[in-house]
Amino acid sequence: MEIISGVERRRRWRIEDKLRILAEIDGGATLTDVARRYDVSRGLLWQWRDAQRRGRLTAERTTFVPVRLVPELAAPEPVEGVADLPAVPCP
């Protein structure tokens, strides 16, 4: 029996740790044994597995996007005669 003294906070699992734990299940260990070993609920492991299957739990990758700088465009020339048109009220 575990006695909790004081305020217990939620554990924060890194993505790498989640994937390592899930790899144990995929390697043949039972979900219940893995849950006991890491002291997490089976439901949490199911959530992680579901997130992994849906592609929301993957190893983070840093990717760079190429950037192309273009010269600033000049302001458009005013069109003659537009200022002379009467204003039309909006309905």
**pTM for the full predicted model:** 0.56
Render each residue's pLDDT in the chain as its tens digit; 91 residues.
666 666 667 888 999 999 999 999 988 899 999 999 999 999 999 999 999 999 888 887 667 788 888 888 887 777 776 666 666 776 6
| Spatial CB neighbours of 5, under 8 Å, sequence gap ≥ 6 | none
Instruction: Quote the DSSP letter at residue 47.
Output: H
d(CA 38, CA 36): 6
pLDDT of residue 86: 65
Closest CA to 23 of 56, 63, 59: 59
Contact by Cβ (8 Å): 31, 45: yes
